[in-house]
Amino acid sequence: MGAMADFASVSQDAWPHVLAAVRLAGVAIDIGECDQGIQWHACVRGLARVELGYCPQDPGRELVVYAPTLRFWRRPLSMGRLFGDVRRAVLAAGGTLD
C-alpha cells in the first residue's frame, strides 16, 4: 500500500531536543528497538501513531518520520495532525527536511 515518510537531517546534539519538542507538542513517545542501526520510537496521540527513526550513521538523512498509508486512510484527520506535529517538532528542534 505504501508509506508516508519525511527525511530530515538532525545532529546528534539536537536529537534529545527533537524528543523533547515532540513531547511538548502533546505526543507520547514509546522507545522501541534498534533495528539495523536505526533507533525507532513510536509517537502516539489517541489512536494515531507515527514512527520516528534516528540513525546517526546516515549523514544528511539521520531522521525519518514514517507511517503506512493505510493508517492515514483509516484515520486521515488524526494521522495528518500527528504527522504534521511531529514534523514541526523536528524542525523546531533544529532539524532540516530533505
pLDDT of residue 3: 82
CATH class of the structural domain 3-97: alpha beta
pLDDT of residue 1: 59
Q: For residues 23 and 42, what is the distance between their CA atoms, to the nearest angstrom?
A: 12
Average pLDDT per block of 10 residues along the chain, 98 residues long: 82 89 95 86 95 84 88 93 94 84
